[in-house]
Each structure stands twice: as structure tokens, then as C-alpha cells.
Structure 1
Amino acid sequence: MNTLTKSLLVVPILLALSSCARNPVTGRQDFVMMSEAQEVSIGLRQDILVKQQYRVYPSRALQDYVESVGQKVATRSHRPLLKYHYTVVDSPEINAFALPGGYIYVTRGILAYLNSEAELAAVLGHETGHVTARHGVRQQSASQAAQIGVTLASIFVPELGTNAGYNLTNMLGGALLSGYGREHELEADRLGADYLARSGYDPHAMINVVGVLKNQELFDTDIAKQEGREPRRYHGVFATHPDADTRLQQVVGESKSLEVANPYEGRDVFLRQIDGLTFNDSSDQGVVRNNVFSHGELGFSISFPSEWKVTNSPASISARSPDKLVSMQLKMDVKPTGTPTEYARRLTGGGSRVEPEEFNGLSAAIAYTPSTITGVTYLGSKTYIVQTVAKSPEVMDAQRNAVLNSMRSLHGMSEAERKKLRPLQVKIITVKTGDTYAELARRSPLGKNAESYLRLINAQYPKGEPTPGQSIKIID
């Protein structure tokens, strides 16, 4: 039997192992490998993992509001009897996502960029569409089938058991899965628009949300170039929304037939609900203000060079010089036995010069090589490590004083400093005569891109001005 014949045998065997179920949306038979009960069980287990990674946003009033809007949409969906759960997670990311079985999440980050209850319903309707069409189930079934196919293929076609064969089958399986993303996102948009109309909202709110995402992505692409990083993408790599213009055209085309008499917008209600919403960093993740990073819970603060770009991520705090030739990273470890000098020697090896230091009442050490400087500081039960790397010794020499000043600025926060520390918040104001985004930006703590941020969160990017008497969002 030749290789091609053996390969073809894999297909009927795989089909025999699979099962089909009627899609609640299309009515057609779908390839799935789990029941609805199994789908709900998977969602419950994954919900636990999500809440281990993301803190639930600590506002009962906001959680209840989002839940009520979600349930309003869900009861008019293709799977109204499924039990849905809508949760706001405490993340600055601009995102929303759905798990199998009715578990749906929105970040506080995306809420800051919405401007009405109808737009919130559009986001929740889109994610509900992923659940009703069983997109997660179909993807997981395809993944399981791909793995079964790889296993069977390696049995029946030994040539595929080689590295080259494995890479080929793995690549094909990945292509199948990544291909689902665009199709599913468009279907979720169509379903979301349908659910909006059924719930009494204008389905064009879906288009407004797409416009918000498009503008934010364009803005972040420009900022990412300045900062030397990849742009942040809504929904991640494989689930990235297709080109926003294409989506706009397709959604508009299909939503024209959805007419709603006296649609409900709910702008004022929504703005009241997000008044006081945390914006960007939260206090438990540490707060960056004027290049000073402070962490109230851990009780420390450090100043980075004034013109450097500071990035606060869950794993570490980093800073980069404007010319991108020097980078600093702050990490934390448990305080070991021994001195900071001993710790620094173990950390950097024998090729560095280590000098003991004491600043701000703290024991520390600094290790030097021609292109690196590493600071080790003991504070309480923790060790704080600041690692700095330059492209060349000459570059490090030019930045040496700025780097050392930053390392020596690390200190324990006083009670007064902790009390003053609070995250940025969304604040709703009424526009006065003479108010412009440029003027509001001058009074904003957002920094050099403040005007763009204010325009984005108020859906007036890149042009337009607020009108007197209008309620808008600022960041305080």
C-alpha cells in the first residue's frame, strides 16, 4: 500500500471517531466532540483559571450593571436557556473574551473606551455570539481532531512520524485553527447586531465599537513605533479581528435590515456607572507617575530617568532610554541569608566588580561590568534587583549617573506617601464654554499623549471638540 493510500485511510477513521450536533444559530450539523454539559464543565474549569490570572474588578455596582446588560442580551440570543456569567476583570487591556459554556469577560480597560450602554451591549452581544454559535467548542473539537489525526497519521504513515512529518501535520492543524478566527469574529459581529436589535438597542452600536477599536489600534500602532514594541491587538494573535474597514462594511450591510423603533442608547446611565473607573495601572499592580513607580501594597518606590519610557507589566517593571540603547528592569526576589554584596556576586558571576552601598537606610550593593550595572537592595523581606544593560561601554558611560541615581532612589514608602498613592480614574464632567481637548489635556496627568487619549475615550479621535453642556470623560 503506497503512502498516499495510507494517508487517505486516516480521514474515514477520524470521521468515525467524531460526532456532529446541530448548531443553535445556523441549524446545520457541526463537527463537535462534546455535549453541552461538557461544554459548561469546561467553561467552569477555565473560569477558575481566568480568575487566578485576572483579579475581578472590585466594584459590586459595576459588576451588577454589566451582568444585567449581558443577561438582557443573552435572553434574546439563540441559546436563551444557557446560564451566562458576565464578569469585569481588573485589567487595563482593551479586551473582551468568551469561554465555552457561557462565561464572558470584559476588561475595565475596554469599558473606559465605550460611551453608552448600547456600546457595552454590543461588546457583550459579540461575545455572547461566540458562545451561542459554539465557536470555542468547535475550535476545541478541531484541535482534538488535529491531535487525533497526527497520532493516527503517524501510525498509518510512518513517514509522518519524522520531525519533518510532524512539523507538516502540526502546521496544517495550526492553519486550520487560525483560519477559524476571522470567520468566527464576523459571525459574532452579525449575531451581536441581531441581539442588539432584539434587545431594543440600535445595532449600529456594533459599528461604533468597531470604530473605537480601529481608532485605538491606529493610535497604539503609532505609539508602539515610538516605544519599539509590538502594537497591542484586540483578542490576541489568532483571534485578531480582520481589517476594521472590511468589518464595518459587512456589519453595516447586514444590520440595515434590523430596524428598531425608539432604540435605547443609555449614554448617561453608562457614564454614571463608569465614573471613578480605574484607568491604566491599578494600585495592586503598582502605579507610574512622572516616571516614579510606586507600589503601595509592597511599600516601595523608585524613580526612573525622566525622559525614559517606563512599562509596568505583571512580571516586571522596565524602562528604556529615548534612543533605545539602554534598558533597565526591576525584579523582586525573597530576601536570602547573606549580604547584598554576596547576592550580587552570585547573580552576576565573577566577571563583575561589586561594591557595597547603603542609601535611604537600606543595605545594597552594585555590580559593574563595562556594559551592565546591577543593583541589589534589601527592603523588608524582599530583594529588589535593578538590572541595566547598554548597547556598548561608551553608551553606559554616558548614562551611568542617570542609572545610578535611579538605583539609589529606591526606598520604603512612608505612610503619607501610601495615602497619596491612588490610581488614575475616569471622571465624568460637564463641558464648559471654552473647554477643548487640548486645554483639558494640559491639566491631565496622562502626559504627552493626553489629548489623543481624551479624544479616544470620548470617541472624537482624531478630530472634533466637546460641546458646552455635554458629559465627557477625563482622567483624574
Structure 2
Amino acid sequence: MRQVLDRASKFRRQPRSRLSRALRRDGFAGAALAFAVALAVSGCAELERQGRLFSAPTPPPIDKPAPPRQENRSSVQHKELLAQFGGEYQAPVAERYLDAILAKLALASDTPGQAAYKVTILNTPVVNAFALPSGNLYITRGLLALASDASEAAAVMAHEIAHVTLRHSALRAEKEREAALISQAAGVIQSRQKGEEERSRQRLSVASFSRQQELDADEAGVKVIARAGYDPYGAARFLTALGRSSELRAALYGKRKDSMSFDIMSTHPSTPERVSRAVAVARQIGAPGIGQRERNGYLSAINGVAFGDDPMEGYVRDRKFTHPRMRFTFTAPEGFLLENSSEAVFGVRQADNEALRLDTVRNPQFESLEAYVGSGWVDGLLASSVKKLDVNGLPAVVAVARAGEWNFRLAVIQSGDYLYRLIFAVRSLTDEADKRFMDSVMSFRRITPEEARETHALRISIVTAGPGDTPESLAAQMTTPNRPLEYLRLLNGLDENEPVIAGERYKIVTE
């Protein structure tokens, strides 16, 4: 669907959007209804994209000695990571718990004299972690939700620290510079075809180099957590959870399972490869059952941590999207699944191959909404279809565009200094489909300050299973609207037919 909307839109640069704090691409630039639901399962720069979809760069290598800790907290990298990942999330109990794990890892590391690391929790559901040579280690609350016990969290942190101690970032940058020079030289002294072949070989070389770094960091991390007294199999369990999370999102958004695996140009090995390697390293240390998992302590530490989108940056509940800070809401047509990303709100309707996108831009000060719609913002516009209407007291314009075999129903709604742009894509714009789309357009409205104040985040809640409880009965308590049973199993590391155990504690999602 990305190519579909690319053909439909010319993507002229627009003023910066405020639909989310992380929105960095304006207007319909790069507009796509591909959700990037292939979650990048990597253990470092992008462990997994989940919830809000960020495309955050890996922090650049730092080869200079780290300045004092206090200066690092206000460093450019620290500020950039906070800006890209929703800011710092305040969870003192969880932070102290993670810092205690780090203290154990430091004593067990290969370089026990190195500067002590300290955790910052990032306010995003994206599953990610970073470690910087400065002594800052970052973990997203999305990762906290996915990890099932202390050994899994320890494995992630040990993996990230291993990247730093092994100087992976600097070595990878050096390898990329070397490959670029070789490719450039090949293009000068050889034919164009030979030059392209050499560039392909160099890209493969860099990808292989990066994959090996991931495996090396996994191995180092497993050994460190074992020496710290944690279950060395925690790394394999967490990597398995990442793979299951990827599969669940693929099922939700209709991406084929075979397209989720990494191709040969991927910068990281696939989850099955990493799981098998992590298990092999753990088996060299001992049989399953050794080391501490500390599940109860971990669950107590993350009890109450927010789950999913930060509601003040917009959130999805079933087919409804609400943005309390910008004070608007709209409801997608029946059968759509919505996702709030860093670019826009996206939606897909699996059965009928339909999609939608909503974003916002500052009013570019055209004479009228009709002039804006006809300004070249969208390709294939049918001028005769442009019509003015009132959407719950807000001026709006709707239109139709066509590109190849695809039809698009467009709506631009003005509210104050901003234009809200809805685009629906469908192969056949039947009367029924057009009515569904127009009903969704007409659902757009401003919300009152009282409605905005009533917004509540979803949270991780820890419950104890009773004698008669089953996965289904615990899932019935979940607020997650789509596939609560699958999410219950995912968040608690339960296999498909694995029961819950009376007296054991489990994560559920509640308001």
C-alpha cells in the first residue's frame, strides 16, 4: 500500500505536523499505508517497533573518554534520545530495581572497573534499549512490558553494554567507511556493472559484520548475567518473546509471516538464529534451571507502568482515535485496525484490502480549502469531485482521486491553525465503501476540555491467578481491545496451550 499512496500523492513539503511529538516527516512525505509492521527484532538500535513506530538512528559512536556523569546527563545524545523516544518516563520503583540489576552486572562484567551505568526509562511502547559509553543506559517501557522477569531484563542490558565494551559502534562505522571507499574506487576504475557488483558485495560484507556483532553481544551478555547469578536462558526467552510479538502484529495487520523474516541485507540476524545461539551459549554454562529469574520481584517493580501509547500524544481504543492534547477524535470504519505512528494514524481493513491515513499540518494559508486540495498535494485528483461540507461545526472539503487501479476518498478538515487530512484507499470505490468512509469523516470532532482530562493511560497490572483461573479468564480482564488472549500469553511468556498456575502472578493490561 505504500506504493499506492506514493503514486497518488506528489508529497510537496508541508509545514511541520504536531500530530505526535516525534513526527519528523511533514505532510504526506513518505506517506504509506505500509505500517512497518515487520518489527525489527535486533537487540540494539531497534529491538522491535511496537506501538508508535519510530525510525530512530543508532546513537553515533563515541570513542573519546566519557566526561563526568553529570555532564553526560545533559549531553546531546541524551537529549536526542529523550526527544525521539517520548521523553523520560517517571517510574522510580522500576528504575531503582533496574539500577540494582546493573550493579550486579557491573561486578560480573569483564571490565568491572568501568564507569557504573544508570538507567533512564523512555516513555514509549517501542521495545528498545541503548547503552552509551557515558554510563547512560536507556530502556523503553515497551521493553519492560515485554520482559517477563529480571533475568530477561538483565540479558537485554548486558547485551547493550557488551556493544559498548566491544566498541561495536565505532568498528561498524569504520567498516562502513572502508566499504564506501572500496565501492567508490570500484565505480571509477571498473565498468558500471562491475561497480554495482562491488557495491553489493561491500553492503553484504557490512551486513554480515553487523550480524556477527549482534551474536557476539548476545554471547557476552549471556555469560555476564550467568556470572551475576541470573538465569542464562533469560536471553533466549526474551528473544523468543520478540519473535512472538512480531508474529502477533503480523497477524493483526495482515503481513505475511514469510515476509517478516530478515533478508540477506538485514543488519541483524533473525530471531530463530539468535535464540538458538543464545541457548547454545547458556547450555555451555549449565542445564536449564540454574540461576535466578526473580519473576516476582520484577513484576512488583513494573506494576502500574504505562502500557501502549502515551494518551496525551494520541491513543487508539478499538476503532477510535483520540488526541487529548490537540483535542480531537475520530472513528474508523467497521473492521479497521488503527495504529498511531510517528508519521500519522494508519488503519487497515484486512478482508477488503482497504486502508486509511490521518495526519495534520499547519494551515499553509491558501485562499480556501478547495485551493489547498487542488494545489498539487494529491495526484489524480478529480476536480469535479471537490465539495465543501461542514464536519461537526468545522469547515471541510472532500474529494476523490484515482491512481491506476486504486481510488482515494480525501477529506481536509480545518480546526484553528491546523488542517487534518484523511485519505482512504480502496480498489473499488463503491457506494457502500464511500458511505463507510464518509461516515468516518463525519465522526471527526473536537473534544471538550473535560473529555481531554478524563483520558487515562493503559497500565500493566499484576494479578494473582486463583484456583479456577484460566488464560481466558485472565484475558477477560484485559483492556486491550484486539486479541487479549494472545497478548496475555505474549506478555507472560505462556505457550499456546500452557495453563496459568493458581497462586502465580501474571501481567494484564487495564485502565
Q: One fold, TM greater than 0.5?
A: yes
Equivalent runs, 1:4-15 vs 2, <5 Å: none
Contact 1:67 1:87 in 2 (8 A): no
8 Å CA contact 1:372–1:396 kept in 2: the answer is no
> Closer, same or farther in 2 for the Cα pair 1:405/1:276, shift >3 Å?
same
Task: Name the CA distance, whole Å, in 2 between partners of 1:360 and 1:104.
Answer: 47
Percent identity between matched residues is 23
- Other-structure match for 2:508: 474
Q: Show structure 1 runs of 4+ deviating over 6 A.
A: 38-41, 257-260
Q: For 1:334, which of 362, 380, 405 is the aligned residue?
A: 362
In the alignment, the residues of structure 1 paired with residue 157 and residue 470 of structure 2 have an alpha-carbon distance, to the nearest angstrom, of 32
User: Counterpart of 1:209 in structure 2: which amino acid?
Assistant: F
The partner residue of 1:124 within 121, 146, 157 is 157
Cα distance between partner residues in 2 of 1:88 and 1:279: 13
Query: Which amino acid is 1:313 matched to?
Result: S
Name the CA shift for 1:94/1:164 in 2 (closer, same or farther; >3 Å): same
Amino acid at match of 2:412: V
Aligned to 2:24: none
Q: What's the TM-score once normalised by structure 2's chain length?
A: 0.76
Which deviates more from structure 2 when the two are superposed, residues 301-310 or residues 237-246? Answer: 237-246
Residue 465 of structure 1 and its aligned partner are, at CA, apart by 1.9
Cα distance in 2, alignment partners of residues 391 and 416 from structure 1: 40
Per-residue deviation at 1:102? Answer: 5.1
- What SS does structure 1 have at the residue aligned with 2:172? helix
- 1:94 matches 2:127: yes
Look up the SS of the partner of 1:398 in the other structure.
Answer: helix
8 Å Cα contact 1:99-1:131 kept in structure 2: yes
Which structure 1 segments of 5+ residues have no match?
Answer: 1-33
Which residue is equivalent to 1:147?
180
User: How many angstroms does 1:264 deviate by?
Assistant: 4.0
**After superposition, where does 1:246-325 map in structure 2 within 5 Å?**
246-256=276-286, 263-325=291-353
Counterpart residue number, 1:184: 213
Contiguous gaps of at least 5 residues in structure 2? 1-60
* Partner of residue 426, structure 1: 460
- Provide, for residues 397-438 of structure 1, a one-character-per-residue CA deviation record: whole Å limited to 9, x for no partner: 331111001011111111232123222211111222322121
1:36–1:443 distance in 2 versus 1, CA, 3 Å = closer
Distance 1:319 1:449, change over 3 A: same
Deviations 1:289-328 (A, max 9, x none): 1200001111110111121121221101122223343221
Rounded to whole Å, the distance in 1 between the matches of 2:368 and 2:261 is 41
Post-superposition Cα deviations, 1:81-117, rounded to whole Å, max 9, x if no partner, equal: 4333533222222333445665543222121121222
CA distance in 2, matches of 1:168, 1:219: 37
Counterpart code for 1:379: S
Cα contact 2:253–2:348 (8 A) shared by 1:
no
Per-residue deviation, residues 166-209 of structure 1 (Å, max 9, x unmatched): 42332222111110233222222221122112222232323332
Q: How well do the aligned residues superpose, as a CA RMSD in angstroms?
A: 3.1
Aligned pairs (5 A) from 1:19-168: 36-37=63-64, 46-61=77-92, 62-83=94-115, 84-99=117-132, 103-151=136-184, 153=185, 158-160=188-190, 163-168=192-197
Aligned-pair distance for 1:358? 1.0
**Helix, strand or coil: the match of 1:243?**
helix
Of 307-316 and 236-245, the range deviating more from structure 2: 236-245
Aligned length: 432
Kindly provide the amino acid, as one letter, of the partner of residue 282 in structure 1: D
Q: Counterparts of 1:231 and 1:386 in 2: how far apart (Å)?
A: 28
Higher relative contact order by CA 8 Å / sep ≥ 6: 1 or 2? 2
Question: Could you tell me whether the CA contact under 8 Å between 1:109 and 1:279 is conserved in 2?
Answer: yes
Which residue number corresponds to residue 418 of structure 2? 382
State which of 436, 439, 450 in structure 2 corresponds to 1:402: 436
Partner of 2:45: none
C-alpha distance in structure 1 between counterparts of 2:160 and 2:506, whole Å? 27
CA offset at residue 272 of structure 1?
A: 1.7
2:198 aligned residue: 169
Q: Considering only CA atoms, is the larger Rg found in Structure 1 or Structure 2?
A: 1
